[in-house]
Amino acid sequence: MATKSRVAFIISIAMVLILAVTACQQKTPSPKPSPAAPPAVSGQTVTPADSPKLPPRGFYMGLLPTPAQGQSFAEAYRQASQIAEFAPVWGRPTPFYALAQELSGSWGQTFVGQYIRGNGMFPIINLSFIGAGMTLVAPPNIQGATLNTPEWRRAYKQAALDVVRAAKPRYLSLGNEVNRWYERYGAKEGDPNGFQNYVSLYNETYDAVKKLSPQTTVFCIFAREIVPENRETDLTILKMFDVSKMDILVFTSYPYAVKGTKSPDAIPDDYYVRALNYMPGKPFGFTEVAWAALDAFGGEQGQADFIAQLSQRLTVKQGVKLHLLGWPWLSALDENDQIALIRRDGSQRAAYKAWLGLFSRPE
């Protein structure tokens, strides 16, 4: 790769990382303190609050409703509801052990109750255990926690149950881009932070959540790429999971991050279907999938072309049972944002029109 092109490529990848962090930081204002989620009641089950009707296109579409310049959160969520059926929820963002409390209080009533459900969308609740620098998020009273610390595992499992009671979600993610932990720590036997400890925790938590709320779709989210290293992830990690305990196979994906992938046409036909070799027949989804509107990757037309190919050549035409298709966010976080469908000033990119066309497609 030529030096100039390589610099542009590195800058674009760095931008993705910066924007991803900023998106989480800018999601919502801080809520007032709220009461804790209700305690467990033996034998009581929960019914999800959402009953979304599958649209004629055959899959749901969603994104994070980030406001454009001068736009309120209420306006952004209302605008998003015109081109989306779901929105992701992390809290402010909020650590897993405090999320149920936040969902039960004024923040949850506003953002989940009014802005998401009140606009006809449904939430996908995310309960992540990974913190900054690939560290383990832990409650303040649990010091030196690892993935196999009994107290920490109980806290995570209890948090998942409390979140289900507080928000009654149809879709619950027990970890975002969980395989990044494997890529960093591996799965060496005897390692307290080995990925095998997360897999066993996932299985235990899955069983507990399904017992409490049998109709909740439970899964974890995998990264398709290791963005800073410009490469694909190791999909063999999927073999570590019990297929019967993964209701849907879900990824985040920024394929232009892979070295040499300069246009959507360069993405192999089987780029996503490869994952289904490990979980055949599973419904498939994206909570985040995007292409940058940088000149090095085809500009705005390249971004629009990616949306068209994503929903056909790369998924449906490969026999993929596409169920969720989520773009990272709606409006640009700043003037340099090349991911959003709408520029900072509120004007629409070509990708917005491609997204709208897909959303409005009758079948």
Summarize pLDDT for 279-308 with one digit per residue, the tens.
Answer: 999 999 999 999 999 999 999 999 999 999
Which tens digit of pLDDT belongs to each residue from 104-121? Answer: 999 999 999 999 999 999
Judge whether residue 4 has pLDDT over 80: no
The CA distance from 72 to 62, in Å, is 19
Domain containing residue 348: CATH number = 3.20.20.80
Residue 327 forms beta bridges with which residues? 63
For residue 93, give Cα distances in angstroms to 136, 154, 229, 287: 16, 22, 26, 16
Who has greater pLDDT, 161 or 29? 161
Pick from 231, 232, 250: nearest CA to 241? 250
Tokens 């039960």 sit at which residue?
Answer: 104
For strands 321-329 and 283-289, give the pairing.
parallel
What backbone phi and psi angles, to 5 degrees, belong to 3?
-60, -45
Question: Per the domain annotation, does 124 fall within a domain?
Answer: yes
Other CB atoms within 10 A of residue 45 CB: 11
Question: Per the domain annotation, does 285 fall within a domain?
Answer: yes
Question: Per the domain annotation, does 101 fall within a domain?
Answer: yes
Question: Per the domain annotation, does 150 fall within a domain?
Answer: yes
Question: Per the domain annotation, does 46 fall within a domain?
Answer: no
Which tens digit of pLDDT belongs to each residue from 58-77? Answer: 999 999 999 999 999 999 99
Judge whether residue 11 has pLDDT over 90: no
Which tens digit of pLDDT belongs to each residue from 186-216? Answer: 999 999 999 999 999 999 999 999 999 999 9
CA angle at 110 for the pair 108 and 112, rounded to the nearest 5°? 55
Percent of the chain with pLDDT over 90: 87
Question: Per the domain annotation, does 250 fall within a domain?
Answer: yes
Counting DSSP H helices and E strands in the chain, the numbers are: 9, 13
Residue 179 has a pLDDT of 98
Judge whether residue 17 has pLDDT over 90: no
Tell me the mean pLDDT in the region 30-47: 54
Sign of the dihedral defined by the CA atoms of residues 261, 264, 266, 268, in that order: positive
Query: By residue range, what is the domain housing residue 261?
Result: 3-29+59-359
Question: Per the domain annotation, does 11 fall within a domain?
Answer: yes
Tally of structural domains, the chain = 1
Question: Per the domain annotation, does 54 fall within a domain?
Answer: no
